[in-house]
Structure 1
């Protein structure tokens, strides 16, 4: 069984309950496999990154396997403005955020099952040059931190890096420790380029944070909000508190 998100931003929860922790979000147009379907909740696996969790049955639409396979194989298009909208045949509006998927996008039209929508906003269809990674990252500046978030209304550190890379046409896994298994290791900060990722660990040596390297040893990352701080050999130096906040573990290049 397969499904697709037909709402702007839907929580993906650890357990099948509204009281359960939100571990991720499903944006409009994201498709997935339904692993289990209960009376009120479904356990799903996102096609984009394989992330699993529970989604309210009222917050998605079932799609045919043929549509799922076609979405897997077709070129990916993503909404390119912080917030925009689509209109259905009855001229009803649905807001969609930056990074929302545009299923079966062609000639300003997208489709979910038999429902067609018109979308006339900006869109991204990668791959874009590496130099665009920092440009896209700036669009999220001052977005508040939200555990499990990946939209302009709230985002976590790895949701930020994943979404920015996605908008540029490159696939990252969801969590920081997962992303750290990808890419090529760099030996020194001096080797890094804008668009490379820096990873940080906690006192137990577990990677828990990630950010995007910029020019002049700056880093943009989600910590309280999406912000710009200094990066040195020790880690992240917060320009407001004048203190180090994260311990550098590794720097990686993905393209």
Structure 2
């Protein structure tokens, strides 16, 4: 992908921002099902992401929050900045989206201190843009500098564009950036991620509005039917690159256990169970996993 400036459709003001009360000030932060770092993490939020606060007072040092896609959970109070200036400053001119891995924000264009490291999918707003650098507004109002490399820079009121051609291939290319990244359930950056997180980020950076929850992802797109072989393994001849695959130990679409992205030639991007990292594996040669395939969804026609 190339950093570029596109002319795309304008969008209406995000109604979620009218209800948001804070932004995330960490590279990423897990959303826990209970107000404890030992609780289960369902997903993560990323730097400068707006949130609604669901409990007026912190509980054990945690706030319960809701994200724009409906995801809810508890995050540490210290991970929130109760100020939306990084989203709604009058100085904002451009929207800036990181479309590759992660990137630092510095206090100056040359030799500055690192103010933050932000992950792929991070959406920031800039008050100054040149051919080489952008100046972005950080949570709390401080400004920082980023090089234009691997940034999509558009007008503040424009929507993130979808690729004009080969949408599925570009989606897969985005997902493949996470090969060998540590498998962390609920993770969403290069320090650790799961397949729903990869699907969410690969969609977001290519203009697709995909929720980050695996069950919700299984409701997206067009359902693709497939036959089963004599041994009950899935016949995957009908699958195409970019298809989302969902697996269930109970053979029940309402009890999905894991997911994958179909690549090509019987291979999938997958991470689950006791796997330590995100890997390409052969579904065709994994009889047990193939038998557990229950739902296939196609995002790209």
Matches within 5 A, 1:7-18: 7-18=26-37
Question: Deviation of residue 135 (structure 1)?
Answer: 0.9
Task: Give the corresponding residue for 2:135.
Answer: 109
Give SS of 2:55's match.
strand
Q: CA deviation at 1:64?
A: 4.2
- Residues 179-200 of structure 1 show CA distances to partners (whole Å, capped at 9, x for unaligned) of 1111101123333321111111
CA shift in 2, pair 1:17/1:202, >3 Å: same
Structure 1 runs (4+) deviating above 6 angstroms are none
Give the structure 1 partner of residue 270 of structure 2. 221
Q: Which position in structure 1 is the counterpart of 2:75?
A: 55
Is 1:202 the counterpart of 2:245? The answer is no
Classify 1:106/1:14 alpha carbon distance in 2 versus 1 (closer, same or farther; 3 Å): farther
Provide Cα deviations, 1:137-175, integer angstroms capped at 9, x if missing partner.
Answer: 111001111111111111122122222222222122222
Partner of 2:122: 100
- Relative to structure 1, the CA distance from residue 254 to residue 30 in structure 2 (aligned partners, 3 Å threshold; closer, same or farther) is same
Higher strand share: 1
1:119 alignment partner, SS class: strand
Matched residues in 2 for 1:254 and 1:106: separation?
35
* Structure 1 residue 75: Cα displacement: 8.3
Per-residue deviation, 1:68: 6.4
Show the counterpart of 2:66.
45
The residue aligned with 1:118 is 145
Residues 55-204 of structure 1 mapped to structure 2, 5 A cutoff: 55-64=75-84, 67=87, 77-88=96-107, 91-104=113-126, 107=129, 108-111=134-137, 112-120=139-147, 121-124=149-152, 125-128=160-163, 129-188=167-226, 189-203=236-250
Relative to structure 1, is the Cα distance of residues 7 and 91 closer, same or farther in structure 2, using a 3 angstrom cutoff?
Answer: same
Structure 2-normalised TM-score? Answer: 0.72
State the secondary structure of the residue aligned to 1:131: helix
Distance, in Å, in 1 between the alignment partners of 2:220 and 2:100 is 28
Unmatched 5+ stretches in structure 2: 1-19, 153-159, 227-235
* Post-superposition offset of 1:54: 1.0
Aligned partners of 2:89 and 2:135: how far apart in 1? 19
Residues 1:252 and 2:293 aligned together:
no
Query: Could you state the TM-score of these two structures normalised by the residue count of structure 1?
Result: 0.84
Q: Indicate the SS of the match to 2:122.
A: coil
Question: Where do 5+ consecutive residues of structure 1 fail to align?
Answer: none
